[in-house]
Amino acid sequence: MQDISERILKYIADHGEVDTLDLAAVFGEDHQKIVGGVKSIEATGQLIQCVPSTRKSWKLTAEGRDILEHGSHEANVFKAVPQAGIPQAELMKCGGKNPKAGFSKAMSNGWILIDKSGGAPLVRRKVDTIVDEVLAHVKAIAEGKESSVPDGVKNEYKKRKILEESVTKSFVLSKGPEFATTLKKLETDLTVEMLASGLWKDLKFKAYNFDALGAPPGRGQLHPLMKVRTEFRQIFLEMGFSEMPTNNFVESSFWNFDALYVPQQHPARDQQDTFFVSHPKMSDKFPLALVESVRESHESGVDGSIGYRYDWKLDESRKNVLRTHTTGVSARMLYKVAHQPGGFKPVKYFSIDKVFRNETLDATHLAEFHQVEGVVADYGITLGDLIGTFNAFFNKLGITELEYKPTFNPYTEPSMEIFCFHPGLQRWIEVGNSGVFRPELLIPLGVPKEVNVIAWGLSLERPTMIKYGLNNIRDLIGPKVDLKMVQDGPICRMNC
C-alpha cells in the first residue's frame, strides 16, 4: 500500500491546492492521520507549503439526535392533540419528551389554540396538517448538507440546544519550492566518510530539534537512612564530639564482651544471639597486660566488687564474632586515652556504623542494623548529664516525645532504656540503651577512679522510621525496599 505522505504529494501534483479536511474525506482516512503525513513531508524539506486554516461546522447535540429519531417537540405536541381537543394538563403528560417547549413552539407557529368557549379550556388543533421543518433541517445537518439550512435558523437551533457549532483546525496544502512526488530520506548522522569525500554537500540532513528533551541522565539518590545518618553526625559534631574509627565488622569476643564486663556465661554470647566467625575463628589482637586486668575483674572483682567468681577462660575471649555493638570500640578508645602521653584528658566520642545480631526479623527488628554509639568521659558527670545530652540531641532532630526506663546492663550501673513515640504505630518503641560505665569495666582499662563515663547505643533505623513515617523497618532497609521511595524522597524535611 502507498505511504500516506506520498499519496498526499500525488494528490497535490494532480489537483493542486487542497484542504486537509477535504483530503481526509477523499482518502477515507482520519484527519489526524492526514496531518501526521503532512508533518512527515515537512520534516524532509520544503516540498509543500502548509497554511493553517479553521473550518466551522455544525453537529447535532443529544437533543438534536432525539429529534432526528422522534421528530420535533412541537410536532409531537401537535400529534398528541385529538380532533375533539384535550385539557392542557393531559397534553403535558402525552406530548413527547419536552412538551412544555413543544407547546410554546406549536402555539407560536399557529398550529394549536386554547378554546375557552365550552367551560373548561381545551387545547385544539388550529390547522389540519403541518410540515415538521425542524426535523427536515436536522436531517440535512446529519447528512452533511448544512449549507441548505439558513444561518439564522442554525443560530436559533443553537439557542434551543439542538445544534452546536464546532471549529476544526486544518491545513491548506500547495506545492513548495522543492516539490516532488517522492520523499527522499534525510541523513541523521554526519560521518567521517561524508566529510572526507565531500558527499555531505549533496546530502540533506534532518534538522536538529534543540527544544526536544533529552533522556534524563542516570543519577544516584541518597537513601533516607544515609540522610538521617548525616544529620546525626552533624549534630554530634556541633555538640563537640569527635568521631571514633569503627572500620572493623569482625571483633574478638575479648573487646566485644570481656572488656565490657560481660560474663562468659551470659546468654548474649550464645549462638542464638550472636554470629560467630568460622574463619578466622580466633584472634589475639588485644594487649596482654589488659588481659590479666580483665581476668581479675571477672574472677574476683575490683574496687570493692566481688566479680562474677568463675574461672575466666582466654580461649573463650579469643573467639571472633560479627560485632553485636560498637561499644567495644568505645572500650578500646578509653584504653587508648587512659594510656596516652600526659595521662587522661576528658573526651567526647561518637560513632555510627553497622552491627549484627541473630535477631528474628519483624516490623522493628533486623539482623543487620546501625548503632549510634556515644561516650563521654569526664570528672564528676552523672546520669543527669546523660539525660540532658539525650534531650539536646533528639530536640535537634525534632523528636520531643521521649521516655527513660531503668534497666539492667552488665557493664553500666545505673542503666536506662530510651523510648520514642511512633505516631504511625501509635506506641512507644525502644531506640537505645544507656548508662554509666561500671568500675569493673573502667579500672582494668586504666581510667582514673575519679572519672565517670556515660555511654549510650542508639538505633539509627527506628528514629528514621519516625522521621519518614514508616511503620515497618523492612520498608526502609532490605530486599523489600521500594526504590521509588528512595528516588522520590524529599531533598529535606520541614518540621514546622
- Asked if pLDDT for residue 159 goes beyond 60, the answer is yes
For residues 53 and 83, state if they share a domain.
no
- Asked if pLDDT for residue 382 goes beyond 80, the answer is yes
Distance, CA of 323 to CA of 341 (rounded, Å): 30
- Asked if pLDDT for residue 443 goes beyond 90, the answer is yes
Say if residues 337 and 330 touch (Cβ distance below 8 Å): no
> What range defines the domain where residue 15 resides?
4-61+164-175
The answer to whether residue 192 is domain-embedded is: no
Which CATH number characterizes residue 36's domain? 3.30.1370.240
- Asked if pLDDT for residue 319 goes beyond 90, the answer is yes
Distance, CA of 69 to CA of 64 (rounded, Å): 9
Cell numbers for 67, please give them: 429529534
Contact residues for 134 (Cβ-Cβ < 8 A; gap 6+): 67, 72, 74, 75, 157, 162
**Tens of pLDDT, residues 230-252:** 989 999 999 999 999 988 899 99
Count Cβ atoms within 10 A of the Cβ of residue 342 and give its class: 0-12 exposed, 13-18 middle, 19 or more buried. exposed
**Nearest to 411, CA basis, from 325, 337, 285, 349:** 325
The answer to whether residue 205 is domain-embedded is: no
pLDDT averaged over every residue in the chain:
87
Distance set, CA 388 to CA 236, 382, 394 (Å) = 14, 10, 10
The answer to whether residue 107 is domain-embedded is: yes
The count of other CB atoms within 10 Å of the CB of residue 44 is 18
Give me the mean pLDDT over the 449-473 stretch: 86
The answer to whether residue 195 is domain-embedded is: no
For residues 111 and 18, state if they share a domain.
no
Taking the mean position of all CA atoms in its chain, how far away is CA 369? 25
For residues 72 and 54, state if they share a domain.
no
Distance, CA of 348 to CA of 335 (rounded, Å): 14
**Tens of pLDDT, residues 336-357:** 999 999 889 999 999 999 999 8
Q: How many separate helices (H) and strands (E) can be counted in the chain? A: 19, 14
Distance, CA of 130 to CA of 71 (rounded, Å): 12
For residues 280 and 332, state if they share a domain.
yes
**Tens of pLDDT, residues 10-68:** 998 989 999 998 888 888 888 899 998 898 888 887 889 999 988 888 888 988 888 88
For residues 231 and 265, state if they share a domain.
yes
Contact residues for 315 (Cβ-Cβ < 8 A; gap 6+): 282
For residues 256 and 374, state if they share a domain.
yes
CA angle 83, 86, 90 (to 5 degrees): 145
**Confidence label for 1 from pLDDT (cuts 50, 70 and 90):** very low
Lowest mean pLDDT among 209-223, 231-245, 379-393: 209-223
Instruction: Tell me the backbone φ, ψ of residue 197, rounded to 5 degrees.
Output: -90, -15
Which CATH number characterizes residue 329's domain? 3.30.930.10
Which CATH number characterizes residue 144's domain? 1.10.10.2330
For residues 282 and 138, state if they share a domain.
no
Rg, C-alpha atoms of the chain: 45
What's residue 123's pLDDT? 87
Give me the mean pLDDT over the 169-174 stretch: 90
The answer to whether residue 156 is domain-embedded is: no
Cis check: omega of the bond before 439, within 30 degrees of 0? no
**Tens of pLDDT, residues 252-285:** 999 999 999 999 998 888 876 889 999 999 998 8
Contact residues for 353 (Cβ-Cβ < 8 A; gap 6+): 246, 247, 326, 370, 371, 373
For residues 115 and 261, state if they share a domain.
no
The answer to whether residue 357 is domain-embedded is: yes
For residues 35 and 131, state if they share a domain.
no
The answer to whether residue 201 is domain-embedded is: no
Contact residues for 274 (Cβ-Cβ < 8 A; gap 6+): 268, 321, 322, 324, 357, 358
Count Cβ atoms within 10 A of the Cβ of residue 292 and give its class: 0-12 exposed, 13-18 middle, 19 or more buried. exposed
Say if residues 235 and 397 touch (Cβ distance below 8 Å): yes
- Asked if pLDDT for residue 496 goes beyond 50, the answer is no
What's residue 118's pLDDT? 72
For residues 326 and 407, state if they share a domain.
yes
Strands 242-243 and 347-356: parallel
For residues 382 and 233, state if they share a domain.
yes
291-300 LR contacts (CB < 8 Å, sep 24+): 291/254, 291/317, 293/443, 293/444, 293/445, 294/254, 294/258, 294/259, 294/444, 296/444, 297/261, 297/440, 297/441, 297/443, 297/444, 298/258, 298/261, 298/263, 298/264
Contact residues for 313 (Cβ-Cβ < 8 A; gap 6+): 264
Distance, CA of 15 to CA of 173 (rounded, Å): 11
The answer to whether residue 367 is domain-embedded is: yes
What's residue 492's pLDDT? 59
**Tens of pLDDT, residues 112-150:** 888 887 778 888 888 888 999 989 998 988 887 888 888
Total domains in the chain come to 3
For residues 134 and 271, state if they share a domain.
no
**Tens of pLDDT, residues 402-419:** 899 999 988 999 999 998
Q: What's the whole-model pTM score?
A: 0.56
